[in-house]
Structure 1
Amino acid sequence: MTALAEEHPVKLWANSGDSHFIEPEDLWRSRLPKRLAELVPRSVKDPDGTWESIHVDGQVFRRRLPSPAQQEFMHATVAAAGARDVGKRLADLDAEGIWSELVFPSLGMWAGSFRTPELMQATMRASNDWAKETIMDHSPRLIPTAQVSTLDIGDAVDELKRCGAMGFKAVFLPVEPHPAQRDYNRDEWEPFWATAEDIGMVIAFHIGSEPIDFAAGNSIGVTHHGPGGAVLNYTETSFGGQRAVVKLVASGALDRHPNLRVLVSEGGATWVPLHRRPDGRGLSPARNGGAAQAETQPTRDHLLAGVCVVSARLVGRDDGDGDGLHQRAVGQRLPAHGGHLRPHPGHAASVVRRRRSSDQGPHPVRKLR
């Protein structure tokens, strides 16, 4: 180590492409008109603490509660003060060397149980207003994702435009739309992709966000049952982001919208090379009776040009401006369960900025491109 390095140690700063903030429990109930507030999710636990009744959008269904040990574990993942306090979150970022972070919602998982388009629209709007007031306006280092209805695409387009005007840079989409809506490879979604491209809004998919119909007895993260179910469900979790991206490629959405930017959070990156043929070409948008054709632009090019995959390492490229990072969206995946920002053992933080330890705070946040 040189004398200069000893005198001026370098601190490494990373971006986080996946964090979550725990919204107030009464966020929707306190912001919606009374007739809609009565429809948002509400839990009534049995006296023995083993089951609960969930009331949501005029439906009532029963759900077994996690064991005490499981509840303790889940509480621990969101126990950090920074999970709910924005000021303390910034202190966490400074301590962990996080320059800025993309902030996903936590309440949105209930949206798959909504049946009323008006309720879906109102809850998403309330969440976005809260995120703007509480997170975005507090610090440019915190980049909250907007939320939109995937039940009514017209509502989604309107809210996307509103959020763009409010300053949002990314919009969270579940890896599958609402069960009552057609899938992302269908033409009905074309106005949404066009709007996102036009206003420069990054599409941010997060794995494990498949809408769950709790009224049908389904559970979060449970697709397979029987022998090996735990392992099968674990591996299944990461596939949703891949499917969502390939739907955009195969349907031609990324052909029609070359400037549309997509982020897949917590979905790994090793799958990207698999979606190409040995000659470097992928499959075309299927318009010939469902038969795949050789496309004019390889699938690989779509993935590398427009998709940012966030795993355990930084994803980016040198754009020649001396920063060493083309910040297409954000790039660093650090496990962040509602504010728990510590990386997994062995997952070194990737470098996005180098600064002297004597510098006062991180550099200003660059805009998403």
Structure 2
Amino acid sequence: MSTTNGSNGNYNLDWLVSVDDHILEPPNLWLDRVPKKDQDRAPRLVKDDNGTDVWLYDGKRMPSSGLSAVAGKTKEEFSPEPLNYDEMRPGCYDPLARVEDMNRAGILASLSFPTVTRFCGQLFYEASDRDFGFTCLQAYNDWHLEEWAGAAPGRFIPLILIPLWDPKLAAKEMERCAAKGATTFAFSENPEPLGLPTIHDKDGYWDPVMAAANDLQMVVSMHVGSSSTVPQISKDAPFMANLAWGATRTSGAMLTWLFSNYLQRYPNLKISLSEGEIGWMPYFLERAEQVLDKQRYWVQRGAKWGNHAGTDVDLDKLDIRETFRNHIFGCFIDDVHGLASIDEIGEDNIMCETDYPHSDSTWPDCITVVKNRISHFSPELQFKLLRGNAQNLYRFTPAEPPVLTNA
């Protein structure tokens, strides 16, 4: 492996840090960690009548989508049909096998979202017994910290779940996990479709969570789809059209945070938008500035229009660009337009992702794809995009890059 010399030092540009990958939970995760008397109601893997692996929990039967575990398959082999664990690449669910796959693709460290719990733990929020749901949630967090991230120190940025139904309890869980090394938690891009208050709730539903995030410097990580919704252009729009339109969810998340008061109240609060790409950011930042310039005065006067209910943001102090650059971070898999607009987005606000083992992933060519896109930048900027920004945001020190030998 080579080291590239930059004007301000040496930058190893052969490795990246991915801030969006995924775990297919191992079948014994909860059975190993909940009390024995509760094992028959914990999330567990069973076979259905057709011999298909199905997760069973709280009366729900949940097969694994084949699109969630395509690593090692060709595009021609992709399928949404259920996939059994013995048909998956071991790196989908085994941390040491994952490290081997990371080494192959130039991935030095990875932040991985859950699967069966859904991206921000909706499974436990929807549980009929939330007390036991919290037991299962804590079991997941402990497993992630101890057995996933703990299996290969310096190779995994630990990501925890919070009990969405109890913000005060969530703050306590954040404190508990921060003491064990967690620096980020999963949150919803839009809690409203889940039946939860939005971040603009007049009663401050999320205040305990955001205050804890600010004090603990825990990044709010929001994965696309964590609202349990899929954008739909029309009722009969093709799946591929809707999927290509999916960045609308992430742009909506960015805008709602820019115009919330949380980023004014909490200077340490950082928002990471996972798997949303970045090419759309310059347009929506520009549009947000236009809206602020033209509409701020009647909003400040308290004039009513439709369902508009005013704002609790200090519009006189709101600077869209400054707020974005101080608080909001995006990531890309392969986004030519976004990288061409890096001066507008900000070189400190962009990170890499590989989406392993999902169908959008560039694995096993991850580092090659990114380097081909950013090779015209200075070594210092390349290092920021590959690793530096992620390491700074998540306060994460990765392991030394392994020395690889050719077979």
Question: TM-score over 0.5 for the alignment?
Answer: yes
Match of 1:251 among 249, 260, 264: 260
Match of 1:241 among 223, 246, 250: 250
Asked if 1:183 corresponds to 2:203, the answer is no
**Matching residue of 2:145:** 132
What SS does the corresponding residue of 1:274 show, helix, strand or coil?
helix
Number of equivalenced pairs: 338
What SS does the corresponding residue of 1:181 show, helix, strand or coil?
coil
Relative distance call for 1:243 and 1:121 in structure 2 (3 A) is farther
Maintained 8 Å contact 2:34/2:42: no
Quick one: distance in 2 between partners of 1:335 and 1:65? Answer: 15
Quick one: distance in 2 between partners of 1:344 and 1:141? Answer: 16
Q: Alpha-carbon deviations, 1:280-325, whole Å to 9, x = none? A: 46647x8847235844122232222211101126999xxxxxxxx8
Report the more deviating stretch, 185-194 or 110-119.
Answer: 110-119
**Matching residue of 1:215:** none
Q: Alpha-carbon deviations, 1:141-178, whole Å to 9, x = none? A: 21121111112212211111111111111112232338
Identity, in percent, stands at 21
Q: Alpha-carbon deviations, 1:196-227, whole Å to 9, x = none? A: 01111111111122247xxxxxxxx4857743
Quick one: distance in 2 between partners of 1:120 and 1:232? Answer: 36
Q: Map 1:1-369 to 2 at 5 A.
A: 12-34=14-36, 36-41=38-43, 47=49, 56-57=57-58, 59=59, 70=79, 79-109=88-118, 110-111=123-124, 113-137=126-150, 138-177=152-191, 179-186=194-201, 187-211=204-228, 221=230, 226-276=235-285, 280=289, 283=292, 288=302, 290-291=309-310, 294-312=315-333, 331-337=351-357, 341-343=363-365, 347-349=369-371, 366=391, 368-369=394-395
TM-score w.r.t. length of structure 2: 0.67
Q: Alignment RMSD, CA only?
A: 4.5
TM-score w.r.t. length of structure 1: 0.73
Report the more deviating stretch, 161-170 or 114-123.
Answer: 114-123
Quick one: distance in 1 between partners of 2:46 and 2:99? Answer: 35
What SS does the corresponding residue of 1:203 show, helix, strand or coil?
strand
Maintained 8 Å contact 2:220/2:270: yes
Report the more deviating stretch, 237-246 or 102-111.
Answer: 237-246
What SS does the corresponding residue of 1:108 show, helix, strand or coil?
coil
Quick one: distance in 1 between partners of 2:254 and 2:322? Answer: 13
Maintained 8 Å contact 1:135/1:143: no
Quick one: distance in 2 between partners of 1:334 and 1:244? Answer: 21
What SS does the corresponding residue of 2:256 show, helix, strand or coil?
helix
Quick one: distance in 1 between partners of 2:54 and 2:18? Answer: 36
Maintained 8 Å contact 1:281/1:295: no
Quick one: distance in 2 between partners of 1:207 and 1:279? Answer: 21
* AA of the residue aligned to 1:181: L
| 1:266, distance to aligned residue in structure 2 (A) | 0.8
What SS does the corresponding residue of 2:117 show, helix, strand or coil?
helix
Relative distance call for 1:158 and 1:245 in structure 2 (3 A) is farther
What SS does the corresponding residue of 1:162 show, helix, strand or coil?
helix
* AA of the residue aligned to 2:329: C
* AA of the residue aligned to 2:129: T
**What are the ranges of 5 or more consecutive residues in structure 1 without an aligned counterpart?**
213-220, 317-324, 355-361
Quick one: distance in 2 between partners of 1:238 and 1:77? Answer: 33
What SS does the corresponding residue of 2:318 show, helix, strand or coil?
coil
Quick one: distance in 2 between partners of 1:274 and 1:334? Answer: 24
Quick one: distance in 1 between partners of 2:250 and 2:65? Answer: 28
**Matching residue of 2:8:** none
**What are the ranges of 5 or more consecutive residues in structure 2 without an aligned counterpart?**
6-11, 68-76, 340-346, 380-386, 396-407
What SS does the corresponding residue of 1:175 show, helix, strand or coil?
coil
Maintained 8 Å contact 1:19/1:103: yes
Relative distance call for 1:61 and 1:97 in structure 2 (3 A) is closer
Maintained 8 Å contact 2:22/2:357: yes
Quick one: distance in 2 between partners of 1:334 and 1:245? Answer: 21
Quick one: distance in 2 between partners of 1:25 and 1:13? Answer: 31
Q: Alpha-carbon deviations, 1:39-77, whole Å to 9, x = none? A: 344677663579x998533x4579999899836685699
Quick one: distance in 2 between partners of 1:182 and 1:108? Answer: 20
Report the more deviating stretch, 103-112 or 143-152.
Answer: 103-112
Quick one: distance in 2 between partners of 1:345 and 1:230? Answer: 29
Q: Alpha-carbon deviations, 1:320-368, whole Å to 9, x = none? A: xxxxx85x7x8212231269832479843457997xxxxxxx99x9563
| 1:256, distance to aligned residue in structure 2 (A) | 0.8
What SS does the corresponding residue of 2:354 show, helix, strand or coil?
coil
